[in-house]
Each structure stands twice: as structure tokens, then as C-alpha cells.
């Protein structure tokens, strides 16, 4: 694990200019990399690395001395007297698909596990910027790297070369653009997509926590937008974990808190436009939760779990919500543990009677009398509950009993149970 600065070098003769980033002026320099290395690498250590990719022509003209200028980029970087190692890596011109794959291999091979990468893409040519993003995101998955910065020096803002050469040096002020937020937007897109398809909020929660922590540190905790982002990260994590662990009493509040956090992010004055559809899609996925109704939220949670392939959780939550609904319909407290156990036994027994598989007597009490009267109008409910409990038990015992169900039967029947009980 170390810090890694990556950049590309072209073949043009680069004119001297000052580069400006966050109000600080760097230069005058011929090469933007001198500015971006100064910005990012001055505090780096000996085991950190600066790597510049060059074609043969770029190496002769701009990396080594006595090319386009008396001194090449290598010499200028060495004169910064910083601790990281400085090297170039040869790459082909990228004039064929095979050569593009060679560039991919060279870039990917330069990255080590858990590197913290800064990329200056100013002199990337042709398809390289897109290729660089593919390499970096591939390395994030395979090598667990993090992207600390992507920068572009917008020299073209000064005009064409003749215009630039006619300008006095102190008027050649080139802005450096921080493109890292676009990489973060890609991460947000992937993270939210993962959450909305699988219910797993870890990726998006970790991203939101990481980005908000950096901004809060920079502003001594005064960044309102970062605080709201961190709040969203926390509520996403809580909601995801509540579903994964079947916390029935907490589901409604977790959904309510998450909806509130999304609304507060959508109302931020400086929210970037591309984030709005992502957050609205997330809000739309939560619209079925009431936030304060154990039955409505329980059924919605079971649907959510099914849609996100949390099959075991869906069976568990659906079964418990049915008990809550029946108890509430009968005027009892849905959270009374003793009644829940009696009700579950009675439902199973009644279902077995309906299908002619049991004559077992039930220990009667006033609550059970009311239940049996209730079920006399809803005989199919008891049968459905009995079948559902059978599949739930099969899953809970990991299919280690007798007459176990097939995987497709478990999933397909869950779909039918949800249709029946949530209609």
C-alpha cells in the first residue's frame, strides 16, 4: 500500500505557463505535471511513486533532456527534491486494439494493491482518458485501490499557440480542474444500483462516509452538505442492516429515517444535478413504507427482501407480520409474545384440519375461540400460513430435514405467498 501519481506525456512542445489550483499559483512551468506533483506529492514518502507513461517519441521529446526543451520533465520533477521515486514506463502509440490492450496492461501493472492513486490526465491522448477510468475502476475492484484525485490542466483556455506565445508570461494563467467528483459520481451510481438491486448498502454507505469525512475534516465540521451526506450514509447502513437481521419493530422507523435523509439531501442548495435522479430513484423504492405501521411496514419489508433476493429474511418477516395482522384484527397487542406463540400453533392446527391432516385438539382460551371464529371466514389464510411456515422452517434448518424443498420451489412459492398476503 502506497501513494501513486500517474500521468501521460505527449509529444508537443509545451509552452511555459502558471497553473492555478484553489487560488494557489504554480510555476512558471513547461509541464503541468510539475504543478500537479507539487500539489499532491510534496509530503509523500520514499516508498511512494511517481510514474509517467511515454511513447518512444514522447520520451525523447519531453521526458529526457535536450528534446523539445533543454530539460525534460524528468529533470524538472527531480528538481522538486521530493521523496517519491520518479520513473517513466514505455507504452505503444495506441494505434490498434492490440496496442490499446498493451497500454491497459502497462497502466494496470503499475498499480499495486491498496494504492492511493492521483491521476493527471492533461496530456492523455485519443482514447486514453476513457481507458484510464476503466483501469482505475478495475483496479478498485481487483486491487482495492482508492482514487484520491483526477486533475486536468486546461491549457486550451489560453487560446491557440500563437495567441499563447504573444501573451506575457504573467498572463498565462491556466486553471487546473479537479475531475475527482465525476469519478465519485460513478461510484455513487454503482453503489446505489447495488443497494437498489441487492439491498446491500455497504458500498454506498462507505463511499458517503469517506467523502463526507474528508470534507468535514477540511472544513472543521462546518460543511452542511457533507453532514447531510454522512447522515444519509448512516441511515442507509441502518436500513440495510435492519432488513438483513429482520428487526421487525425497527423496520418502519429505519425506512422513515432513510426517506427523511434522502429528502434532506435532495433539498440541499448546492446538490449537483446528476445526483438528483439517483436519489429520487432511491426515494421511489421506499414509497411503500408507512414508517409507523408494523403491519404495513412488515409486508412492505417482506416485499423489499424478496425483490432484493433476501429470501430467508422475506419468509421470516412475512410470517411474523401475518401474526401481527391477525392479532391486530382481533383487537390484541401484536407484540404480546405469549399470544403470538398461541396464535401460530392455532393457525398451523387449523390449517392442518382444513386439509384433513390433523384432529389434534387445541388448548382453548378466549383468544383462541375468537381466532377460530375469525378463521371460519378465512380458512385459506390458515392453510397458506401453514404452508409458509413449512418453507420458513425448511430454510431455517438449512434444508437438513426430511422432504426438503427445491430451491426454485422455495423462491416461487414465496412469490405466491407475497401475492396472497399483501393483496
Rounded to an integer, the average pLDDT of 75-87 is 94
Mean pLDDT lowest among 141-145, 211-215, 253-257, 338-342: 211-215
Compute how many other C-beta atoms are within 10 angstroms of the C-beta atom of residue 163. Answer: 9
Rounded to an integer, the average pLDDT of 281-299 is 91
Locate cell 470534507: which residue? 215
Whether the predicted pLDDT of 197 surpasses 90:
no
- Contact assessment for residue 265 and residue 304, using Cβ atoms and an 8 Å cutoff: no
Highest-scoring range by mean pLDDT, 118-127, 260-269, 318-327: 318-327
- b/e map of 168-189 (b: 16 or more CB within 10 Å)? eeeebebebeebbeebbeebbe
Q: What is the pLDDT of residues 344-390, one digit of tens each?
A: 888 877 777 766 665 556 555 666 677 777 777 777 888 888 889 88
Coil, strand or helix: which one is 7?
A: strand
With a CB cutoff of 8 Å and minimum separation 6, the contacts of 325 are 295, 298, 334
Instruction: Give the up-direction half-sphere exposure of residue 326: CA atoms within 13 A in the CB hemisphere.
Output: 29
Based on the number of CB atoms within 10 Å of its own CB, is 351 exposed (0-12), middle (13-18) or buried (19 or more)?
A: buried
Cell of 326: 391477525
Give the pLDDT score at 216: 67
Q: What is the pLDDT of residues 7-20, one digit of tens each?
A: 999 888 888 999 99
Give the pLDDT score at 59: 93
Locate cell 432488513: which residue? 243
Compute how many other C-beta atoms are within 10 angstroms of the C-beta atom of residue 145. Answer: 21
C-alpha–C-alpha distance, residues 184 and 147, integer Å: 9
Coil, strand or helix: which one is 41?
A: helix
181-184 own/partner pairs: CB under 8 Å, 24+ apart: 181/272, 182/150, 183/133, 183/136, 183/147, 183/150, 184/211
Q: Which residue segments constitute the domains of the chain, with CATH numbers given?
A: 3-178 (3.40.50.10640), 186-285 (no CATH), 309-421 (no CATH)
Whether the predicted pLDDT of 280 surpasses 70:
yes
pTM of the predicted model as reported, rounded to 2 decimal places: 0.73
Identify which has the larger pLDDT, 364 or 291.
Answer: 291
C-alpha–C-alpha distance, residues 244 and 314, integer Å: 9
Instruction: Give the up-direction half-sphere exposure of residue 369: CA atoms within 13 A in the CB hemisphere.
Output: 3
Identify which has the larger pLDDT, 106 or 189.
Answer: 106
Mean pLDDT lowest among 144-153, 245-254, 276-285, 409-418: 276-285
Give the pLDDT score at 250: 93
User: Of all residues in the chain, what percent carry a pLDDT higher than 90?
Assistant: 44
Whether the predicted pLDDT of 60 surpasses 60:
yes
Highest-scoring range by mean pLDDT, 178-192, 314-328, 367-381: 314-328
Give the pLDDT score at 279: 85
Rounded to an integer, the average pLDDT of 190-210 is 79
Amino acid at each position: 500500500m502506497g501513494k501513486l501519481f500517474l500521468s501521460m506525456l505527449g509529444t508537443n512542445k509545451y509552452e511555459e505557463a502558471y497553473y492555478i489550483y484553489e487560488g494557489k499559483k504554480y510555476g512558471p512551468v513547461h509541464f503541468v505535471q510539475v504543478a500537479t506533483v507539487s500539489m499532491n506529492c510534496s509530503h509523500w514518502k520514499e516508498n511512494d511513486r511517481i510514474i509517467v507513461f511515454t511513447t518512444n517519441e514522447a520520451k525523447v521529446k519531453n521526458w529526457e533532456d535536450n528534446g523539445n526543451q533543454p530539460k525534460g520533465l524528468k529533470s524538472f520533477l527531480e528538481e522538486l527534491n521530493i521523496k517519491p521515486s520518479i520513473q517513466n514506463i514505455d507504452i505503444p502509440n495506441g494505434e490498434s486494439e492490440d496496442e490499446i490492450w498493451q497500454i491497459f496492461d502497462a497502466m494496470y501493472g503499475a498499480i499495486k494493491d491498496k494504492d492511493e492513486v492521483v491521476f493527471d490526465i492533461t496530456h492523455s491522448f485519443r482514447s486514453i482518458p476513457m481507458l484510464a477510468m476503466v483501469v482505475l475502476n478495475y483496479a478498485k475492484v481487483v486491487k482495492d485501490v482508492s482514487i484520491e484525485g483526477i486533475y486536468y490542466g486546461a491549457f486550451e483556455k489560453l487560446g491557440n499557440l500563437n495567441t499563447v506565445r504573444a501573451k506575457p508570461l504573467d498572463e498565462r494563467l491556466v486553471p487546473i480542474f479537479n475531475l475527482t467528483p465525476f469519478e465519485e459520481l460513478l461510484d455513487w451510481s454503482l453503489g446505489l444500483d447495488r443497494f437498489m438491486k441487492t439491498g446491500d448498502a455497504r458500498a454506498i454507505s462507505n463511499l458517503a462516509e469517506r467523502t463526507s469525512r474528508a470534507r468535514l475534516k477540511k472544513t472543521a465540521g462546518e460543511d452542511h452538505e457533507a453532514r447531510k451526506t454522512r447522515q444519509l450514509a448512516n441511515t442507509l447502513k441502518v436500513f440495510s442492516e435492519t432488513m438483513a437481521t429482520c428487526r421487525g419493530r425497527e423496520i418502519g422507523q429505519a425506512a422513515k429515517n432513510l426517506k427523511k435523509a434522502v429528502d434532506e439531501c435532495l433539498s440541499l442548495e448546492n446538490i449537483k444535478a446528476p445526483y438528483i435522479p439517483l436519489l429520487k430513484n432511491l426515494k421511489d423504492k421506499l414509497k411503500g413504507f408507512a414508517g409507523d405501521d408494523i403491519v404495513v411496514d412488515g409486508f412492505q419489508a417482506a416485499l423489499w427482501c424478496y425483490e432484493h433476493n433476501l429470501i430467508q429474511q422475506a419468509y421470516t418477516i412475512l410470517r411474523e407480520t401475518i401474526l401481527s395482522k391477525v392479532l391486530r384484527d382481533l383487537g390484541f397487542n401484536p407484540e404480546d409474545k405469549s399470544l403470538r406463540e398461541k396464535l401460530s400453533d392455532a393457525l398451523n392446527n387449523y390449517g392442518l384440519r382444513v386439509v384433513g391432516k390433523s384432529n389434534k385438539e387445541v388448548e382453548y382460551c378466549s383468544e383462541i375461540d375468537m381466532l377460530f371464529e375469525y378463521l371460519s371466514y378465512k380458512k385459506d389464510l390458515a392453510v397458506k400460513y401453514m404452508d409458509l411456515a413449512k418453507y420458513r422452517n425448511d430454510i431455517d434448518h438449512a434444508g437438513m430435514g426430511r422432504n426438503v424443498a427445491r430451491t426454485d420451489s422455495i423462491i416461487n412459492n414465496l412469490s405466491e405467498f407475497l401475492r396472497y398476503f399483501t393483496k
